[in-house]
Amino acid sequence: MSARKKIALGVLVSGSGTNLQAIIDASESGKIDARVAVVISDVPSARALERARKHDTAAVAIERKDFDSKKSFEERIVTTLKEHGCELVCLAGFMRIIGETLLGSYPDRIINIHPALLPSFPGLDAQKQAFDYGVKVSGATVHFVDDKTDHGPIICQKAVEVKEDDTAEALKERILEQEHRIYPAAIQLIAEGRVSIEGRRVIIK
């Protein structure tokens, strides 16, 4: 990989942060031209914040209940992202719908990882949705974020076979392994300037 300047990432989290860890690991190993500048969580007890601190990365808790509106809540998030020079925002298990304040501040610069092959099985518990439906193939998707849930243009996907003796939990773990691979890969494509959006299509140069 060339010695390009690393783009600054802001990662939004609500939970344990395994995808955050995958991004941090990829950055520290030199696999991606990106660094995590700040981690923001709406849950002060989220393990993801502790992961960030262990890597000397800024970790900030911003709780929705401390603000009188979604707009003011997102304004604080945007202010924090800007303070840390963030160029790309990565949702990694952030359990809130992104609103127009955040979307408007980072147009086509917010991405998300979803544990299913979109547009199938959007929303919560996607792995169990797919398993219960009886699909033979599921997987993971990295996509740009727009004003609808799990809807924006798709950057990359990875298929995961559903085995005959699978359980929903086993499938979830195998999908998670692929999430940890494709999220850093998608970030690298953006860092290299190889990604453009044409309507609903993401073009990889």
CA distances to 2, 96, 156, 165 from 129, rounded to whole Å, are 41, 19, 21, 17
Measured CA to CA, the distance from residue 13 to residue 27 in angstroms comes to 18
CB atoms within 10 A of CB 192: 16
| Angstrom distance (rounded) from CA 126 to CA 39 | 24
Question: How far from chain centre, in Å, is Cα 130?
Answer: 20
d(CA 79, CA 28): 26
151 is catalytic: no
Out of 55, 84, 114, 151, the active site residue is 114
In 3D space, the residue among 161, 158, 202, 201 whose CA is nearest the CA of residue 183 turns out to be: 158
CA distance 39 to 93: 12
* Active site residues per annotation: 114
